[in-house]
Amino acid sequence: MDKFDRQILSLLQLDGRASWTELAERINLSTSATLRRVQALQEAGVIQGYRAMLDADKLGYEVRAFVEVNVDRASTALVEQFRRRIAALPQVISCYMVSGSVDFVLEVVSPDIKSHADFIENSILKLRGVKDASSKIVFRTIKAPAPYAVDSGSSYSIAK
């Protein structure tokens, strides 16, 4: 990955709707060369997709919580079933398997605190293999998910 690839990635993280011409102008490369580089980054899986960033409050999600879940890890089948079921729940907007005293951390959105409590009680705690769950309610977002730093230290290689 060279400086042009890093510049493309940095710019697209800030504005995924930028045209090829805009990108090319900003990195001082031809439009066709820029397009080839973006396509190579997509094919290599470095660029996984493009999304619109939405305002959770304006969509009616007043509660955001990080839910720590412990599961019975003695059964690989139960853990896999948990992962599949969690992935299918629209209230869970992200899920991470983590190290430490908990097994999974879920990011969950709900319209209100009652809905969140109902979701934990009726959806999470009733999943087979779940031993316990604990919610950490977000009071204020200090730093939302930000673009990745794409510096010259990247060792990723893209065949061109």
Write down the mean pLDDT value for the chain: 93
The percent of residues in the chain predicted with pLDDT above 70, rounded, is 94
pLDDT beyond 90 at 143:
yes
For tokens 């839910």, the residue is: 67
Residue 119's nearest CA partner among 128, 130, 110, 132 is: 110
pLDDT over 60 (residue 160): no
Q: How far is 118 from 55, CA to CA, in rounded Å? A: 23
pLDDT grade for 152, boundaries at 50, 70 and 90: low
Mean pLDDT value across residues 124-143: 96
pLDDT of residue 151: 79
**DSSP conformation letters of 9-53:** HHHHHH-TT--HHHHHHHHT--HHHHHHHHHHHHHTTSS------
Please give the Cα distance from 31 to 21 (Å, whole number): 5
For residues 70-91, give the mean pLDDT.
Answer: 94
Which DSSP letter does residue 101 get?
Answer: S
Cα–chain center distance at 155: 22
Q: For the chain, list the domains and their CATH numbers.
A: 3-43 (1.10.10.10), 63-137 (3.30.70.920)
Crossing angle of the two packed helices 20-27 and 31-43, in degrees rounded to 10? 110
pLDDT digits (tens, 9 = 90+) for 96-125: 999 999 999 999 999 999 999 999 999 999
* pTM, full prediction: 0.84
**Angle 23-24-25 from CA coordinates, rounded to 5°:** 90
Q: Are 120 and 133 in contact (CB under 8 A)?
A: yes
